[in-house]
Amino acid sequence: MNSVLVFALAGVGLILLGLYALLVQRHLLRKVLAFNVISSGIFLILAGLARRAPGAEPDPVPQAMVLTGIVVAVAATALALAMIQALRTATGRTRLDDDGED
């Protein structure tokens, strides 16, 4: 049980790192990386919650939710990358317009 708490707190740490990078980094590809790190942090907390069940079997419902979440994160990442490439082809930049000078 204790090691599960370690992983859940690591998930909180990942969320903190990812949020900071999402807000501070300007390059859009790095924002996509930060978004994926935040997702991984959330999944760690959920999977840790699944392990709270007494007995040997973990709770299957949070595990199914994490599985769904991983697939959705991949789909969102693919769409975000395609949009970044379209932005690049249209304007030649990989940063959003209001993000300071370039």
Partner 1 sequence: MAWLNLLPLAIDLVLALTLLWLAWRALSSPDLFRAVVLFIALGLVLGLVWVRLDAVDIALAEIALGAGVTGALLLAALAKLQPGATDSAEPASAAEFAAALEGDPDTPRPALAERAATGTAPIALGSTLDERPVGAAAGTAPIALRWLIALLLIPPCIGLGLVVWQLWVPAPGLTDLVAARLDESGVTYPVTAVLLNFRGYDTLLELAVLLLALIGVWSLSPAPHLDDAEPEPALAALSRLLAPLMILVAAYLVWIGAQAPGGAFQAGSVLGAAGVLLRLSGWRLSPRATGWPLRLALVLGVAVFAFIGLAVIGLGQPLLGYPAGWAKPAILAIELAATLSIGTILAALFIGGRP
- Segment 73-92, which members bind partner 1 (CB under 8 A)? 73-79, 81-86, 88-89, 91-92
- Rounded to a whole number of angstroms, the minimum distance from the CB of residue 42 to partner 1 is 10
Among 17, 96, 97, 98, binds partner 1 (CB under 8 A): 17
In single-letter form, the type of residue at position 96 comes to L
Residue 18 DSSP code: H
State the Cα angle at 96 between 91 and 99, rounded to 5°: 130
Residue 35 within binding range of partner 1, rule CB under 8 A: no
Q: Is 96 in the site for partner 1 (CB under 8 A)?
A: no
Contact between 12 and partner 1 per CB under 8 A: yes
Using CB under 8 A as the binding rule, whether residue 43 contacts partner 1 is answered as yes
Q: How far apart, in whole angstroms, are the C-alpha atoms of residue 62 and residue 38?
A: 17
Non-local CB neighbours of 70 within 8 Å, separated by 6+ positions: 39, 43
Tokens of 67: 């599985």
Residue list 48-67, contact with partner 1 (CB under 8 A): 48-55, 57-67
